[in-house]
Amino acid sequence: MPEQRGVWAESLVKVYRGEVTAVSDVSLTAGEGEVVGVLGPNGAGKSTTLKILTTLLRPTRGRATVYGFDVLDVKGVRPLLGVALQEVGLDPLMSGNEHFAVQAALYGVAPDQLRRACDPLIERFGLGSYLEREVGAYSGGTQRKLALALALSSSPPVVILDEPTAGLDPHSRRQVWELLEELRSRGKVVLFSTQYMDEAERLCDKIYVIDKGRIVAQGSPDELRALIGEGTLRVQVDAPPARLRELIADLLPVDGGGIEEDGEVLVVKVPLDSALPAEILRTIQLDGLGVREFSLSPPTLEDTFIQLTGRALRPEPLGRSTADVGLSMHRGGGSQWR
Amino acid sequence: MEVTTAVADRGARVRSPRAFLTMYRRAVHEALSVPATTMLVPLILPIFMLTIFGRVFASVAAIPGFPQGVGYAAYIAPSVVITGTMLGSPTTGISTAMELQTGFFDRMRLAPLGTGMSMVARRAADGTRLAFFAVVLTVAAWVDGVPIENWPLALGVAVVLGAAWGVVYGGLALAASLRTANAETVQAMVPLFFPVLLMSTGLVPMPLLPDWLQEIARYNPVSYICDSMRSATAGEFAASATWKALLGIAIAGVVTQVLVQLSSRYRARV
């Protein structure tokens, strides 16, 4: 059923010029007061999915609605949206102030009214001193902050952001995170894409992991982490790792899988709620070895992502095109979660 | 439902003259921010034509078929104005291609006002600039020795027909821009002005054109625009040529606007 007070999409497919399939099966929902993340590597279909939901692309198949309006009904959907895409969509020859004036014209509101509404955002992002200057002279991060302020200028009920923190410094990223949390508290529907695990983990009520145009997993960060079912045990003793590996070999799976060396530290994948860590510690103590490090970490979202997609997520470096960027490839646990 | 009301309210408010003025000012400011490209370059070739062609080919005005008592510079003065307005016409197309590349076009698409107002404002700004070109080139012709018998009439016809033709002709660049989102493609269309001019009576009178070219020139609005402007320079209002020119501009306007609409639909269907 279409979500009447939020964003709803079912089985979206997008094929460009009948050849390239960018999105092959995406279904998602985002409700009021929810921050929903679309997480995936470059070329996974995140931007295409978001562009369909913003009405900028027509789906080849499938259906999506925003507050009950079909995304093909552009006049119904567009006024409900605040959108900041990866291309910041700014005119390099216009100043920040001129962008606000044009935005006011585009949305049919008085420029003063729009500026008053945006003042808190301008202050929050420290944009005030830049507004007289041409946007082409802004840094990439400042341009992105201006684009965000413009996206929120009409106080839309639905906010769709494509990698809103790409290119921002840590302080600015944190400002954006706080902003998104504030939007959630005000009951807005927030849907954004990201390549940053920490961002998704911190902000999202729900995450859709997308890979090769398909949703491969969905759920809260905790639910996604639980999918992996393994924690990471790091053990260092006052003996070489090979000695420790030999000592605990009988406790580990016969094929020796899930065990690696990180310098002097032995890293062991252990099932959650398993007695294995306690058994390993007891074995070490019985052998009389001194323990330098013994820590058990729950699975991270990154571990989960690697399991789901078979590769690690590495944000695209600034100033390089998608085509230039090679993803770090790590073989993971395969496709059992699909 | 609260949001539905908001949609209706916004739809009603956006069609204000203030919105048009904002977008118009933006287009003018943008053109003035790169004056060499938008204000100077389109005038160089026409002035070159006027000063060089007018002298190099001065003797051809004596060939039977040319109007008697009119120097070659005076004969080609209208085509000089038209060349200027055609060379200055792709600005909206190039700017729109840039908007498509930077994402600004998508920003406008997402707003209740849409992209239509921006394109109308851009073309109005082009019209203003091309009208200025028409005045500058008419004055340049006079400085070069072309007699202007009736200034208000000469300027009025040059501004109205020259700017209108430039705006209409610029629709080709806009359509190409919407279709390809590529400013280079639009710029590659600039030399098209030359065949359009050569296949008219802008440089040579009708009787001196080959038969097949005469057929084309009869359907080319530029022929009637030049005839009308030439008469106005001589102090006469050529009603028949002017009406034909206006009709030709209107037909060309419909054709280019259909192309713009088709390209816009293509862009919306992607």
B27 CA: distance to closest CA in chain A (Å):
10
Per-residue pLDDT tens over the stretch B247-270: 999 999 999 999 999 999 888 777
Q: Which residues contact A212 (CB under 8 A, 6 or more apart)?
A: A24, A44, A45
Query: Is B29's CB within 8 Å of A94's CB?
Result: yes
Interface of B with A (CB under 8 A): 1, 3, 6-7, 10-16, 18-19, 22-23, 26, 29-30, 33-34, 99, 102-104, 106-113, 117, 268-270
Q: Which residues pair with A159 in a beta bridge?
A: A82, A190
A77 pLDDT exceeds 80?
A: yes
**Residue A283: CA count within 13 A, CB half-sphere:** 17
Over residues B66-85, the mean pLDDT reads 94
Per-residue pLDDT tens over the stretch A204-250: 999 999 999 999 999 998 888 777 777 888 999 998 888 888 888 88
Backbone φ, ψ for residue A198 (5° rounding):
-65, -35
| Best CA proximity match to A97, nearest among A140, A153, A141 | A153
Over residues B110-132, the mean pLDDT reads 93
Mean pLDDT of chain A: 85
The model's pTM: 0.80
B26 pLDDT exceeds 60?
A: yes
CA distance linking residue A238 with residue A293, whole number of Å = 10
A104 vs B2, which has greater pLDDT?
A: A104
| Range with lowest mean pLDDT among A43-57, A99-113, B184-198, B241-255 | A99-113
Write the class of the CATH domain A6-220.
Answer: alpha beta
Nearest residue of B to residue A71, measured between CA atoms: B110
- Hey, is B199 helix, strand or coil? coil
Q: Quote the number of domains for chain B.
A: 1
Nearest-10 crossing angle of helices A111-124, A170-185: 120
A151 vs A110, which has greater pLDDT?
A: A151
B7 pLDDT exceeds 50?
A: no
Of A57, A89, A108, which is closest to B107 when you measure between CB atoms? A89
Place of tokens 């190039």: B94
Q: Which residues contact A15 (CB under 8 A, 6 or more apart)?
A: A21, A22, A60
The pLDDT score that the predictor gives to residue B170 is 97
Which amino acid, one-letter code, is at A216? V
Place of tokens 């890979």: A211
Place of tokens 């605990």: A248
Over residues B20-49, the mean pLDDT reads 93
Which domain covers residue B235, as residue numbers? 2-269
CA B116 to chain centre: 19
| Best CA proximity match to A152, nearest among A130, A111, A121, A177 | A121
B15 pLDDT exceeds 90?
A: no
Q: E strand or H helix at A173, and its extent?
A: helix A170-185
Which amino acid, one-letter code, is at A38? V
Over residues A149-164, the mean pLDDT reads 94
pLDDT-based confidence at A322, cuts 50/70/90? Answer: very low
8-state DSSP, B13: H
The pLDDT score that the predictor gives to residue A334 is 28
The pLDDT score that the predictor gives to residue A3 is 58
8-state DSSP, A299: P
Taking CA atoms, A201 is separated from A207, A295, B176, in Å, by 9, 21, 45
CA distance linking residue B147 with residue B233, whole number of Å = 7
CA distance linking residue A83 with residue A88, whole number of Å = 10
The residue extents of the domains of chain A are 6-220, 230-297
CA B49 to chain centre: 18
Contacts of B268 in chain A (CB under 8 A): 58
Contacts of A56 in chain B (CB under 8 A): 106, 109-110
Per-residue pLDDT tens over the stretch A161-207: 999 998 889 999 999 999 999 999 999 999 999 988 889 989 999 99
Over residues B86-98, the mean pLDDT reads 95
A320 pLDDT exceeds 70?
A: no
Over residues A109-135, the mean pLDDT reads 90
The pLDDT score that the predictor gives to residue A323 is 30
Percent of the residues in chain A that have a pLDDT greater than 90, as a whole number: 49
Per-residue pLDDT tens over the stretch B221-245: 999 999 999 999 999 999 999 999 9
The pLDDT score that the predictor gives to residue A312 is 62
| Best CA proximity match to A54, nearest among A20, A9, A15 | A9
8-state DSSP, A45: S
Q: Which residues contact A268 (CB under 8 A, 6 or more apart)?
A: A232, A233, A234, A235, A252, A258, A259, A276, A280
A36 pLDDT exceeds 70?
A: yes
A77 vs A256, which has greater pLDDT?
A: A77
Q: Which residues of A136-175 are buried (b: 16+ CB within 10 A; e: fewer)?
A: eebeebbbbbbbbbbbbbbebbbbbbbbbbbbbeeebbeb
| Range with lowest mean pLDDT among A102-116, A296-310, B88-102 | A296-310
A105 CA: distance to closest CA in chain B (Å):
4
Mean pLDDT of chain B: 91
The pLDDT score that the predictor gives to residue A260 is 83
The pLDDT score that the predictor gives to residue A300 is 76
Strand arrangement, sheet containing A6-16: A69-70, A61-66, A6-16, A20-31, A214-219, A206-211, A34-39, A189-194, A158-162, A81-84
Backbone φ, ψ for residue B87 (5° rounding):
-65, -30
The pLDDT score that the predictor gives to residue A54 is 96
CA distance linking residue B73 with residue A172, whole number of Å = 63
- Hey, is A38 helix, strand or coil? strand
Nearest residue of B to residue A76, measured between CA atoms: B7
B5 pLDDT exceeds 70?
A: no
B9 vs B81, which has greater pLDDT?
A: B81
Answer whether B21's CB lies under 8 Å from B115's CB: no
Per-residue pLDDT tens over the stretch B128-179: 999 999 999 999 999 999 999 999 999 999 999 999 999 999 999 999 999 9
Of B19, B117, B270, which is closest to A57 when you measure between CB atoms? B270
B118 pLDDT exceeds 70?
A: yes
Query: Is B108's CB within 8 Å of A106's CB?
Result: yes
What superfamily would CATH give domain A230-297? YebC, transcriptional regulation domain (3.30.70.980)
Q: In this structure, what is the dihedral angle of CA atoms B23, B27, B30, B31, given to the nearest 10 degrees? A: -170
